[in-house]
Amino acid sequence: MGGRAGPTDAVSLPRRRRSPMIDTLPAARPVPLDPMAEALRLARLADHRQGPNPMVGAVVVADGRVVGAGHHQRAGGPHAEERALAAAGERARGATLHVTLEPCAHTGRTGPCVARILAAGIARVEVATLDPNPLVDGRGVQALRAAGVAVAVGAHAEEARELIRPFAVWVTTGLPLVTWKVAMTLDGKLATAAGESRWISGPESRRRAHRLRHEHDAVLVGSGTVLADDPELTTRLDVADPRQPLRVVVDGRLRTPPGARVLRRAEHPTLVVTRPGAPAARRAALEAAGAELVEVSAPDGRCDLRELAGRLGERGCTSLLVEGGSAVLGSCLTQGLVDRVVVFVAPILVGGRDAPDAIGGVGIPRLADALRLRRLRAEPLGDDLCLTGER
Ligand code: AOF
Ligand code: ZN
């Protein structure tokens, strides 16, 4: 177009550019044409470190310019709106607030955002999606409207809902969102008949698998996997300070050796989940090795994984990554514990009656009862395919 810069052409934040309340607004960037997309980008900067709270971003726009922006960084810390409004200061008066989640109207660890929005004199609020927290759930929007603020809900709703999915499941059910991660051969095997499993998937898939650990609050395997692979279950990523999920081993008979790698390098103690009547001496040995023993009921001899999920939810875990092996995946399947599936399929065939299948257990006898996934997607990842689907 050329010519003079119009009022909507530049972000101008002369006085507050260096304010720590502004998260990452570059100085001379054009105003985002889509403030909610910018708010979503900011929300993602939390990078899963704000749990159990949701990722939330907010942008304040006045006279076509971004005058404040922020995201929620840590549970217990200021909400996205508070940061954005603080950055905007007086310029928030009469401005529009774009926020990826409905502002809260309740007092949790921090005060209600609705009160802050009203005090700042915001005239209009754009909300991407409502807060599924039963303490909020529409009350924030209602309170704003009752106070005379114009509110519109729904811009980028699908993206915003996807962003808060673990939080939404956890806050409404008390359970974490459960994702399975499986790396298998093209013929659906987790290992060869001789037990070799390193490595089936390629380096790109393995990097993605570490990214998945970073994104989850807890990661779970069965004791069979511990015995076969001796995994560390830590996140190895080339980002600064990757998140280390809580490590959980399901081990009804307490077969985990006290020297297992999964018990080392503890940021938090590894949970070893067992059933009533597990051998006391093994319990003591695992506790001495630093494990935290958790007992759940086992009506049919197998640990009740739903009960375990409830316990993890109580500890604030909003997302659980189940990494196998086939027995644990089989139990999750029959106990209805799967929300998302990520399958890395390697272009190799090994065959073998005795080679473990991806999912074991008794399985689902009737096709009509099979778990049918939605939104199945395939993405090439190096030589592998990464398949994702949702319940
Ligand atoms: C917002 N903006 O940025 C976030 C919200 O304990 P608190 O005070 O941090 O409150 C946590 C609850 O607030 C959380 O469960 C969710 O309902 C909401 N999160 N709300 O207005 C934010 N992170
Ligand atoms: Zn709030």
CATH number for position 335: 3.40.430.10
User: Is 2 a residue whose pLDDT tops 50?
Assistant: no
| Same domain for 222 and 104 | no
- The ligand 1 atom at the shortest distance from the C-alpha of residue 140 is 21
Would 45 be classed as within a structural domain? yes
Give Cα 22 distance to the centre of its chain.
24
CATH of the domain at 131: 3.40.140.10
- Separation CA 282–CA 367 (nearest Å): 41
The CA angle 275-281-282, to the nearest 5 degrees, is 55
Does residue 304 lie within any of the structural domains?
yes
Shortest-distance ligand to the CA of residue 79: 1
| Same domain, residue pair 192 and 100 | no
User: Is it the case that residue 176 has pLDDT exceeding 90?
Assistant: yes
Domain end point (choices 166, 196, 227) = 166
Give a yes or no: residue 11 inside a domain.
no
Counting from 1 in the atom list of ligand 1, the atom nearest the Cα of 133 is 17
pLDDT digits (tens, 9 = 90+) for 82-137: 999 999 999 999 999 999 999 999 888 888 999 999 999 999 999 999 999 999 99
Residues 261-276 have pLDDT tens digits of 999 976 778 999 999 9
Copy the structure tokens of residue 239. 């980002």
Which residues form the catalytic set? Answer: 81
d(C-alpha 284, C-alpha 112), whole Å: 46
Residues 162 and 179 in one domain: no
Distance 61 CA to ligand 1 centre (A): 22
User: How far, in Å, is the centroid of ligand 2 from the Cα of 28?
Assistant: 29
Q: What is the pLDDT of residue 138?
A: 97
Under a CB-based contact definition with an 8 Å cutoff, are residues 321 and 245 in contact?
A: yes
d(CA 361, CA 330): 4
Quick one: 33 and 161 in the same domain? yes
Cβ contacts of 164 within 8 Å, gap of 6 or more: 54, 55, 56, 101, 129, 132
Q: Which tens digit of pLDDT belongs to each residue from 298-347? A: 998 889 999 999 999 999 999 999 998 899 999 999 999 999 999 999 99
DSSP one-letter code for 247? E
In the structure, how many helices (H) and strands (E) does the chain have? 11, 14
Check if the beta carbon of residue 179 is closer than 8 Å to that of residue 217.
no
Q: Are residues 342 and 200 in the same domain?
A: yes
155 with 200, same domain: the answer is: no
Q: Which ligand 1 atom lies nearest to the CA of residue 110?
A: 8
9 assigned to some structural domain: no
User: Are both 180 and 114 inside the same structural domain?
Assistant: no
The tens digit of pLDDT for each residue in 207-264 reads: 999 999 999 999 999 999 999 889 999 998 877 888 999 999 999 999 999 999 999 9
CA of 12 to the centre of ligand 1 (A): 29
* Judgement on whether residues 245 and 153 belong to the same structural domain of the protein: no
208 and 290 assigned to the same domain: yes
Pocket of ligand 1 (CB under 6 A): 53-54, 56, 72, 75, 79-81, 101, 103-104, 108-110, 113, 131, 133, 136, 171
Distance 72 CA to ligand 1 centre (A): 8
Residue 153 counted as domain residue: yes
pLDDT of residue 19 exceeding 70: no
Asked if residue 369 and residue 224 are part of one domain, the reply reads: yes
Confirm whether 298 is domain-assigned.
Answer: yes
- Among 60, 54, 117, which Cα is nearest to 88's? 60
Domain boundary (166, 189, 217) is at 166
Contacts of 161 (CB under 8 A, 6+ apart): 129, 168
* Residue 383 falls inside a structural domain: yes
Pairwise CA distance, residues 178 & 31, whole Å: 38
Residue 35 pLDDT: 96
Q: Is the separation of the CB atoms in 282 and 293 below 8 Å?
A: no
Last residue in a domain, options 120, 136, 166: 166
Q: How many domains does the chain have?
A: 2
| Whole-number pLDDT of residue 30 | 57
Residues 133, 204: one domain? Answer: no
Ligand approaching nearest to the C-alpha of 163: 1
In 265-300, which positions are buried (b, 16+ CB within 10 angstroms) versus exposed (e)?
eeeeebbbbbbeebeeebbebbeebebebbbbebee
The pTM of the full predicted model, rounded to 2 decimals, is 0.90
Predicted confidence at residue 237, as pLDDT, reads 82
Confidence (pLDDT) at 293: 97
In a domain, 88, yes or no: yes
Instruction: Please check whether residues 184 and 153 belong to one and the same domain.
Output: no
Q: Which domain holds residue 91?
A: 29-166
